[in-house]
């Protein structure tokens, strides 16, 4: 049995970030990964989809995918080969609260602390025809060697919308089927509707408020299942920890990402990233990793997990941080809403990107910023600036006094504050 300070199960964004940070703090780390390092995000998620989004054709996307992913993977391999980190290329399962064994070799490690960072996997909705050979998940779609002439996407969330936008641009005939009345439910409904209408004008067909019953009824060459993701816990042998998973399959944790919410004896076991189901975003996993390691070290931090920006890399982009107008109304929170349009921004017009809207929400009387939801070119950058301001408790009045470079798209945020 090998003793170490920290065991990490999974080398995705949360896992490798935890390993890197912990090692720099002097902890000896053992990290398990039974597949390629980088997790879903690097290998079949965030990076590949963005490579598709920023490619002009299907063939170019596939070629660039073969260049970008290995390069980034090599960088992570380098991080995990530094001193204080031992990479075990195998899956791990629990023996007890401080002990794991390698799934294939049976080798055993004991850690003072253990972090579960196994990520998530495609969630299949219960419909007839799941054995249809046309059905793929995002991994399968990225592996296609031939561009589909007709692509049907089940689900108008982030994954579905990004692929819909990319394949429509490649020239595929794209149809999106969504059970809800609007796409991207985390986004302000006004912004989401405008984005959907923009994509409809580009040629994407949306069938909203539609439930799929049988895949055989779908007229398409390829069907993408993009109805969400579920935490990946299979094979961890969590039974020995005597825990009960949440209804969505996630591992319940407390504010420090410990499993001690379930059992006081589990204070040395943590779960970060998609597997805890809190905020299924790569950057959320990375920051949860830092917070968990800080807690292990007894260090305080001021990470604001209640302020979590997110982006959807369609064409045009969409992004958000904080509450939407729908949520503020539902919660009965007093607010002011300010709007600014891309068509009134010099840089946007110069870029030929006049389609877009930013909504800025704040406390009454030009108080603190409560949220920012936007669609249009470089939306992610605008939401990121709003996120920084929110973390600092900035008011609309203070934002009005902040100089913004001219001409830039960031003036759209400034214009909203002045409205």
**Residues designated as active site:** 406
Nearest one of 253, 258, 251 to 230, comparing CA atoms: 251
CB 380 within 8 A of CB 303: no
CB 277 within 8 A of CB 263: no
Query: Can you say whether the dihedral through the CA atoms of 346, 352, 355, 358 is positive or negative?
Result: negative
Kindly tell me the burial class for residue 179, based on how many C-beta atoms sit within 10 Å of its own C-beta (0-12, 13-18, 19 or more): middle
Measure the CA–CA gap between 414 and 274, rounded to whole angstroms. Answer: 34
- Torsion of Cα atoms, 273 then 275 then 280 then 286, to 10°: 10
Nearest one of 118, 140, 127, 120 to 230, comparing CA atoms: 120
Measure the CA–CA gap between 1 and 160, rounded to whole angstroms. Answer: 45
Nearest one of 70, 48, 64 to 159, comparing CA atoms: 48
DSSP β-ladder status, 85-88 and 29-32: parallel
């Amino acid at each position: 049995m090998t003793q170490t300070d920290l065991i990490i199960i999974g080398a995705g964004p949360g896992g490798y970030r935890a390993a890197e940070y912990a090692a720099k703090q002097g902890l000896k780390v053992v990290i398990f990964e039974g597949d390629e390092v980088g997790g879903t995000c690097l290998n079949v998620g965030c990076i590949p989809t963005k490579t598709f989004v920023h490619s002009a054709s299907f063939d170019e996307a596939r070629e660039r995918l073969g260049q970008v992913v290995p390069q980034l993977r090599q960088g992570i391999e380098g991080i995990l080969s530094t001193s204080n980190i031992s990479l075990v290329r195998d899956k791990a399962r629990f023996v007890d609260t401080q002990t794991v064994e390698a799934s294939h070799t049976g080798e055993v490690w004991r850690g003072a602390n253990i972090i579960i960072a196994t990520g998530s996997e495609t969630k299949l909705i219960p419909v007839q025809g799941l054995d249809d050979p046309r059905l793929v998940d995002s991994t399968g779609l990225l592996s296609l060697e031939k561009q589909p002439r007709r692509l049907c996407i089940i689900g108008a969330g982030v994954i579905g919308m990004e692929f819909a936008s990319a394949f429509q641009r490649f020239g595929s005939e794209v149809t999106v089927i969504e059970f809800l009345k609007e796409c991207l439910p985390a986004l302000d409904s006004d912004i989401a509707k405008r984005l959907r209408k923009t994509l409809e004008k580009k040629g994407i067909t949306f069938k909203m408020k539609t439930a799929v019953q049988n895949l055989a009824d779908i007229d398409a060459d390829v069907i993408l299942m993009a109805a969400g993701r579920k935490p990946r816990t299979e094979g961890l042998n969590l039974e020995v920890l005597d825990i009960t998973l949440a209804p969505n399959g996630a591992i319940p944790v407390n504010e420090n990402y410990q499993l001690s919410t379930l059992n006081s004896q589990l204070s040395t076991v943590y779960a970060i990233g998609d597997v805890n189901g809190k905020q299924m975003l790569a950057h959320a996993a990375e920051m949860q990793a830092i917070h968990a390691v800080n807690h292990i070290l007894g260090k305080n931090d001021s990470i604001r997990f209640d302020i979590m920006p997110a982006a959807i890399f369609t064409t045009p982009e969409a992004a958000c941080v904080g509450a939407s107008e729908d949520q503020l109304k539902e919660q009965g929170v007093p607010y002011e809403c300010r709007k600014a349009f891309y068509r009134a921004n010099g840089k946007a017009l110069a870029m030929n990107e006049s389609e877009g809207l930013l909504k800025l929400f704040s406390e009454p009387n030009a108080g603190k910023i409560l949220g920012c939801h936007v669609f249009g070119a470089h939306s992610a950058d605008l939401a990121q600036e709003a996120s920084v301001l929110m973390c600092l408790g900035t008011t609309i009045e203070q934002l009005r006094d902040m100089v913004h470079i001219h001409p830039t798209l960031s003036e759209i945020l400034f214009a909203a504050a002045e409205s």
